[in-house]
Chain A
Amino acid sequence: EAQVTQNPRYLITVTGKKLTVTCSQNMNHEYMSWYRQDPGLGLRQIYYSMNVEVTDKGDVPEGYKVSRKEKRNFPLILESPSPNQTSLYFCASSLPGNTIYFGEGSWLTVV
């Protein structure tokens, strides 16, 4: 089954404690990206990757890092989380110019 899997789905953490949200897709997609969704603000892109070892900033990259060492994985790293990073995060993947598949989302709360 084609899917995008992200973990954890729910996390409450404290300010400053590094965390990683993993994302994996089994469709051999080149393009992967991370979005955050806050009430009334829609989907805002954090980072995207066009292929292995190729990443670029989206609209709201501050406070986040990513890596793309393998085609299937695209982890999102919060080196020092702050409360303003409390949000719903979606990982997504697609073939060029084609349907985007979203993960189920990760609810992150930073206290």
Chain B
Amino acid sequence: GENVEQHPSTLSVQEGDSAVIKCTYSDSASNYFPWYKQELGKRPQLIIDIRSNVGEKKDQRIAVTLNKTAKHFSLHITETQPEDSAVYFCAASMVLTYSSASKIIFGSGTRLSIRP
């Protein structure tokens, strides 16, 4: 089955610097890759996603890149701010052929801390 590995598990960056979180997946059939941000005590919320027919996607200070050949994708946060401190999860999803439904596998999470 699909396996998603996420690195690093913790990351501390100076405010204003960039942060990069990387994930690899095992199943080449995966075609949807969302990123979630979870603040302390709250539910995970989608911040950006990318599909397998696109190599890069940006939304203001956040970008995601996808390398299908290498089966890895990354989250990039530029000009980090204190409110970026949270746990970030990557995920990989594939549409299951026998049911048209999908199963999503999450990475283990990265705790990002922004130093003032």
Question: Which residues of A are in contact with B by a Cβ distance under 8 Å?
Answer: 30-31, 33, 35, 41-43, 45, 48, 50-51, 54, 90, 94, 96-100, 102-105
Contacts and interface: CB of A to CB of B under 8 A. Distances in A.
Nearest to A41: B108
A51 B99 contact: yes
DSSP class of B's interface residues: helix, strand, loop or mixed?
Answer: strand
Contacts of A100: 34, 36, 46, 91, 104
Interface residues of B, number: 27
Contacts of B102: 31, 94, 96-98
Interface string B82-93: 000000010101
Nearest to B52: A97
Contacts of B95: 96-97
B100 A43 contact: no
A45 B46 CA distance: 18
Contacts of B107: 42
B61 interface: no
B64 to A, nearest CB: 14
